[in-house]
Amino acid sequence: MTLLDKILQLLVAVAVFAAVLGVVLFVADRARGRRGALVQSLAFVAPAILLLLVGLIYPALRTAYQSVFDANSANFVGLANYARIFSQPDLLLVLRNTFLWVVLTPVLATAIGLVYAVLVDRTRFEALAKALIFLPMAISFVGASIIWKFVYEYRPNQQNIQQVGLVNQFLVWLGFEPVNLILQQPWNNLLLIVVMIWIEAGFAMTLLSAAIKAIPNDMIEAARLDGAGGFRLFFSITLPSIRPAVVVVVTAISIAVLKVFDIVRTMTGGQFGTSVVANEFYSQSFRLSDLGIGSSLAMILFLLVVPIVIYNVRQMRKVDAR
Amino acid sequence: MTVLDARDGIAPDLVAVATTRSSEARKRLTSPWASLAALVIAVLWTIPTFGLFLSSLRPERQVQRTGWWTFFANPHVTFENYGEVLFGGSQPLAGYFVNSILITLPSVVIPIVLATLAAYGFAWTTFPFRDTLFVAIFALQIVPLQVALLPLLEIFVGAGLNGTFWTVWMAHSTFALPLAIFLLHNSMRDIPAELVEAARVDGAGHVRIFTTIMLPLLKPAIAAYAVFQFLWVWNDLLVALVFAGGTSDVAPLTVRVAELAGTRNSDWHLLSAGAFVSILVPLVVFLSLQRYFVRGLLAGSVKG
């Protein structure tokens, strides 16, 4: 495709879209009489609802249906796909890794974000300090993965070969042998998790910092007058006051972590025992073309996310009501 | 009360503006240890990016043989790596850069327009099952997009659209709708009913009210969502891989850069430059629209 073709495709899309929009607004404007009101309402909501039906609701139902069929969606197999995911060793490893991710990332990212938010709160360099931690959120997961791959880079320990990765250079400086970090099972999972923590800590810091600033001044002053120091203040005033915000942050990060795919795929491709559910879903569905297992993994992801989202929304309302 | 209110309440200007409530009592943890701890975290968070960025500016031989920290002893700056990834080789990144732009623009505009329309319909018109439908759309936010990918690909292949931009545009637009409708609906409900009533008395129809009252008042909410959706689409790998991954005609930067990380995983002079080509645009957006960016991010924290 030449550049001209591409731009042409864009222009056609713009034209089609503008035409749809024109019709909608025209209908909404002209509809009169007994059914007029209904027609007007439908003109506003119908395009979105139509797109959701075709692009999200039907496909989701179809995935649920395919998850109880075999690899080619030909024969009904009941829950055999799910049974396989929970019994086959390499798929069990995927579940274990996902569990590691979901337990470690939200807790560590939130803890680091919270500590940092408290440390820089009301200091002279607060704005800059926050921007530094927040910056990784603007970087794509792919970009972040490459940044960290470089940190973990390994060169064999031979004469005249210098390390170019920071971690291994530190090992050499400290007198150790360099290690091919990304191959060290099961520890390599932690190296990948670090990338996600690096990204999400900024998110946690931003939300929690806002919550900290919302704590009433007199409360802190009173505690100060009673002689509370830094740590005391943190544990008996700050932390209890922002508890709901902490819960929101932890759950929001958990949801993001469950769906993490880009980091695993870019850093290891799911090799060396690092695959997670979202990555395995991609491999099974699009590389191995196993629609049954792929759909089942997608459904498992869905089932894991639902309770966290519900809890998150309920907590958010609590934060709200305050 | 709504979720958006909560996020709106805490969101504005978080990064840039430190509150100026100056009070001696509020100064805390200003001990040197606290400052040191903050500094350590800040350095840990910055060094990885800095190291790769510096490497992208060093000559190939040096990148391959020495660590980036030796740069300061032997400073050589070159833009050759950028020239090579952008325009050299059989699949230069410049083409993928164009694809990224072509994918992103409609994928931001289409869902926002459709969602604004729908949000108005749900907020200010009445029709049977309106509230039920709205709750259903709200609930759709829960669905991880993985659940829709396989059948959606089948639909696109069946329609002969595979390997065109249409698939990515439609996929991104659809996946964006539940959150966009929900957020814009909340902002629209916040507009005083008297304003709408007054316009109605003056004989304005829904279209007039929508275009002359709602759109101008919704600008901040739309901007916040637009920035979020822009970064989401630009940085996305999964949707692009599934629908546009097969061909360099439509694949965006993320797909190609991820591919480079797999196939040329020791060519760090190219990988570093490639990574920063893909990071540049979102970074500029981040720095210039920080305010909206934060609001959008907070609003969309559960998406996807």
Q: What is the pLDDT of residues B152-179, one digit of tens each?
A: 998 988 888 888 888 999 999 999 999 8
**Interchain pair A211, B254: CB under 8 A:** no
**Interchain pair B150, A119: CB under 8 A:** no
**Interchain pair A138, B293: CB under 8 A:** yes
C-alpha–C-alpha distance, residues B252 and B101, integer Å: 8
Give, in order, the Cα–Cα distances in Å from B265 to each of A167, A267, B277. 17, 10, 17
**Interchain pair B175, A220: CB under 8 A:** no
Q: Which of A164, A206, A265 sits opposite B14 (nearest CB)?
A: A206
Question: What's the ipTM?
Answer: 0.88
Q: Which of B15, B47, B171 sits opposite A134 (nearest CB)?
A: B15
- For chain A, the structural domain boundaries read 3-66, 88-142+191-321
**Interchain pair A127, B49: CB under 8 A:** no
Report CA A284 to chain centroid distance, whole Å.
21
DSSP states along B21-85: ---GGG----SHHHHHHHHHHHHHHHHHHHHHHHHHTS-HHHHHHS-GGGGGTS-----HHHHHH
B142 contact residues in A (CB cutoff 8 A):
302, 305-306, 309-310
Which amino acid does the sequence have at B151? Answer: P
Q: Which of B18, B114, B237 sits opposite A142 (nearest CB)?
A: B237
Instruction: Count Cβ atoms below 10 Å from residue B25 Cβ, excluding itself.
Output: 13
Backbone angles phi, psi at A69, to 5 degrees: -120, 170
State which residue of chain A sits closest to B113, comparing Cα positions: A21
Q: What kind and span of H or E run contains B236?
A: none
**Interchain pair B15, A131: CB under 8 A:** yes
C-alpha–C-alpha distance, residues B293 and B304, integer Å: 17
DSSP states along B123-174: HH---TTHHHHHHHHHHHTTS-THHHHHHHHHHHHHTT-TTSHHHHHHHHHH
Return the pLDDT at A311: 84
- Work out whether the CA dihedral B282, B287, B292, B293 comes out positive or negative: positive
A151 contact residues in B (CB cutoff 8 A):
48, 51
B264 contact residues in A (CB cutoff 8 A):
none
A112 contact residues in B (CB cutoff 8 A):
41
Q: Hey, is A256 helix, strand or coil?
A: helix
Instruction: Note the pLDDT tens digit of each residue in B209-218.
Output: 888 888 888 8
Return the pLDDT at A20: 86
Return the pLDDT at B22: 39
Report CA A38 to chain centroid distance, whole Å.
40
Residues of chain A with pLDDT under 70: 33-34, 319-322
Backbone angles phi, psi at A76, to 5 degrees: -70, 130
**Interchain pair B147, A150: CB under 8 A:** no
Return the pLDDT at A63: 92
B54 contact residues in A (CB cutoff 8 A):
none
C-alpha–C-alpha distance, residues B290 and A138, integer Å: 10
C-alpha–C-alpha distance, residues B141 and B147, integer Å: 12
**Interchain pair B275, A146: CB under 8 A:** yes
Per-residue pLDDT of chain B (304 residues; tens, 9 = 90+): 333 333 333 333 333 333 434 344 344 445 778 888 889 999 999 999 999 999 999 988 888 888 888 888 888 888 988 998 899 878 888 889 999 999 999 999 999 999 999 999 999 888 889 989 998 998 888 888 889 999 999 898 888 888 888 899 999 999 999 989 988 998 888 888 888 888 888 888 888 888 888 888 888 889 888 888 998 999 999 999 998 877 778 899 999 999 888 887 778 888 999 999 999 999 888 888 877 766 665 555 545 4
Return the pLDDT at B21: 40
**A288-294 long-range contacts, CB within 8 A, separation 24+:** A289/A71, A290/A71, A291/A66, A291/A69, A291/A71, A291/A72, A291/A73, A291/B150, A292/A66, A292/A67, A292/A68, A292/A69, A292/A70, A292/A71, A292/A73, A292/A77, A292/A80, A292/A81, A293/A71, A293/A81, A293/A84, A293/A85, A293/A91, A294/B150
Q: Which of A166, A206, A321 sits opposite B294 (nearest CB)?
A: A206
> Across chain A, what does the average pLDDT equal?
88
Return the pLDDT at A109: 96
B144 contact residues in A (CB cutoff 8 A):
258-259, 298, 301-302, 305
State which residue of chain A sits closest to B98, comparing Cα positions: A3
Instruction: Count Cβ atoms below 10 Å from residue A37 Cβ, excluding itself.
Output: 15
- Work out whether the CA dihedral B20, B25, B26, B31 comes out positive or negative: positive
Min CA distance, A173 vs chain B (Å)?
Answer: 13
State which residue of chain A sits closest to B117, comparing Cα positions: A44
Rounded to a whole number of angstroms, the distance between the first and last alpha carbons of chain A is 56
Burial of A322 (0-12, 13-18, 19+ CB in 10 A): exposed
**Interchain pair B177, A52: CB under 8 A:** yes
Return the pLDDT at A9: 86
Are B199 and B209 in contact by the 8 Å Cβ rule? The answer is yes
Min CA distance, A298 vs chain B (Å)?
Answer: 5
Q: Hey, is A76 helix, strand or coil?
A: strand
Interface size between A and B, measured as CB pairs under 8 A = 370
Number of H-type helices and E-type strands within chain A: 16, 0
Residue with tokens 């004469």: A159
pTM: 0.87
Return the pLDDT at B295: 63
Q: What DSSP state is assigned to residue A186?
A: T
Give, in order, the Cα–Cα distances in Å from A205 to each of B183, B215, B228. 23, 33, 18
Q: Which of A38, A47, A55 sits opposite B148 (nearest CB)?
A: A55
Q: List Cβ neighbours of B40 (8 Å cut-off, separation of 6 or more).
A: none
Give, in order, the Cα–Cα distances in Å from A157 to each of A170, A172, A317, B3. 14, 9, 56, 55
**Interchain pair B249, A1: CB under 8 A:** yes
Q: Which fold has domain A88-142+191-321?
A: MetI-like fold (1.10.3720)
Mutation site, A21, A32, A34, A45, interface B, largest B CB count within 10 A: A45
State which residue of chain A sits closest to B204, comparing Cα positions: A29
**Which residues are A76's β-sheet partners?**
A69
Instruction: Note the pLDDT tens digit of each residue in B75-99.
Output: 888 898 899 889 987 888 888 999 9
Mutation site, B147, B190, B236, interface A, largest A CB count within 10 A: B147
Min CA distance, B75 vs chain A (Å)?
Answer: 16
Return the pLDDT at A126: 84
Residue with tokens 């957006």: B285
CA angle, residues B1, A307, A262, in degrees to nearest 5: 105
